[in-house]
Amino acid sequence: MRGFHRVLAGVLRQQRASSQKTAGGSAVRFCVKFSSSATVKSRIRPGYVILGAGLACGTGAVLYSAHLRKKTLAATLEPIFMAQPITNMATLQQASDMRSRMELLILRVQADVCQALEELEATEGDKKFLVDRWERKEGGGGISCVLQDGQVFEKAGVNISIVLGNLPPAAVQQMRARGKNFKTADGGNLPFFAAGVSSVIHPRSPNVPTIHFNYRYFEVVEADGTRQWWFGGGTDLTPSYLDTEDVVHFHSTLKDACDKHDKSLYPRFKKWCDDYFTIPHRGECRGVGGIFFDDIDEPSQEEAFRFVKSCAESVIPSYVPIVKKQMSRGYGLAERQWQLLRRGRYVEFNLVYDRGTKFGLATPGARIESILMSLPLAARWEYCHDPAAGSPEAMMLEVLKNPRDWVGSQ
């Protein structure tokens, strides 16, 4: 194939089976190589194995050997993504805009978290993530990764979405309700772009807490052409039983991520998290908090992106050590019943108060399965349930009614 002299900078190498979505949970992983140049001229020689992008033989890919010049390989990185990116790989590689950078970040975060969870799951069972790559007719798409009925994780979802199109008046009104002031055309629609990663991990053991994280980037184009952008996100922990050491570790890890950028961010976003993840009709918080922020458009787009990147990269070190410590501890039926009651509270918050759920359901072409991925497989409601005074359950409830300064408890 002497005519094959142009090697795409984005090279997809098939890692597993040929299907992107399988009932058994196995999935294709893609190795994506980025080069410092948009195209790389080369001669085909033996010794370097790549996948000839765009060339196929039957159902399998054709492998080619190529010698790539050292100067084009000087700035390469090779993340393993869970599926082929939503945006064309050549477009992502050539672009330096925030849309492309955010998509690459969330692809990597998704893959890193899924790999970390599969490694934990492999210690007790053999469940893998089911990978579902989907497209949205209105524009964009996403990759939903879900692990269900595992031995360590009862249900774990790690989703990314890259969507664009026009926001309907209902979604615009929801944004205006929190202080956004947009100039819209006569029809009330608003062109938008959104990219984000969202995850909720429900473990099987009541001793292991649930974690939620979400990091996103948003752009809208007003009727006069003005472009507004902002970031949002956060990470929070929801234990069924209180282990102070675990909660301090979790908050300390998030604080370290914030302090790299500004020491005032953690206390500000910790309080925002406590206030946001409150269940008003219960008079309690959903969990023990973490950090939460929205509408972040300062001090600059670059600095805001770096902050979001630091927070997203803190998820694994904040959570995995807790899982390793707690997942083998024994528990009984009473602990399981309490865990299901707490998951009932989780459902109440997500369906009644969560802005992300409301926004998703109001967006045209909404993918319900991905939006409701956050809900647990099982939950429980009991009439007038009240834990016994002095019990571990009562101690947990007291913390949920009165949020603490966890970092200050060290």
Enzyme catalytic residues? 212
Q: Cα–Cα distance between 333 and 364 in angstroms, integer?
A: 43
Q: Tell me the C-alpha distance between 374 and 156, whole Å.
A: 8
Mapping DSSP onto H, E and C, the string for the chain reads CCCCCEEECCCEEECCCCCCCCCCCCCCCEEECECCCCEEECECCCCCEEEEEEEEECCEEEEEECECCHHHHCCCECCEECCCCCCCHHHHHHCCCHHHHHHHHHHHHHHHHHHHHHHHHCCCCCCCCEEEEEECCCCEEEEEEEEECCCCEEEEEEEEEEEEEEECHHHHHHHHHCCCCCCCCCCCCEEEEEEEEEEEEEECCCCCCEEEEEEEEEEEECCCCCEEEEEEEEEEEECCCCCHHHHHHHHHHHHHHHHCCCCCHHHHHHHHHHHHCEECCCCEECCCEEEEEEEECCCCHHHHHHHHHHHHHCHHHHHHHHHHHHCCCCCCHHHHHHHHHHHHHHHHHHHHCCHHHHHHHHCCCCCHHHHHHHCCCCCCCCCCCCCCCCCHHHHHHHHHHCCCCCHHHC
For 146, 156, 157, 220, the CA distances from 118, given in Å and listed in that order, are: 11, 10, 12, 36
Alpha-carbon gap, residue 364 to 137, rounded angstroms? 10
In angstroms, the CA 139 to CA 79 distance is: 25
Inter-residue contact 314 to 113 (CB < 8 Å): no
